Amino acid sequence: MHVKKKMRLLRSLAINKLGPSAPFVRVLPTDYCNLGCSYCWQHTADRHQMSAVLFESCLRNARRLDVGLVSFLGGEPTLWPHLRDAIGSCTRHHICTDLTTNGMTLDAD
């Protein structure tokens, strides 16, 4: 983990110990999933997705709140076309990212 990312995450966790804060944010960019697992609560074929503009607005707010981690989940976040750009934007602002995925769309890239 990059040092600046680690320091931001540690600072956000420390701030949380001193009072109410938001050390991390969960982003659900899409409710759609390419699987239909029986144990999963996410059973929608709705392909509505968060816009890149809305994500950037949320990220600006997260930065103001000293968030240290943005977690992408959903549906299947790898089906969201803006995922790479969103992770890149978090990285440029030294915010750690986490991805919860079924892995079906992952490849060597």
Query: Would the pLDDT of 16 be above 90?
Result: no
pLDDT of residue 71: 97
Instruction: Say which residue the tokens 């966790």 belong to.
Output: 13
CB 38 within 8 A of CB 46: no
3 Cβ neighbours under 8 A, 6+ residues apart? none
Percent of the chain with pLDDT over 70: 95
Query: Would the pLDDT of 7 be above 80?
Result: yes
pTM of the shown model: 0.86
pLDDT digits (tens, 9 = 90+) for 24-62: 999 999 988 888 787 777 666 677 899 999 999 999 999
pLDDT digits (tens, 9 = 90+) for 69-79: 999 998 899 99
Indicate the SS3 state at residue 62: helix
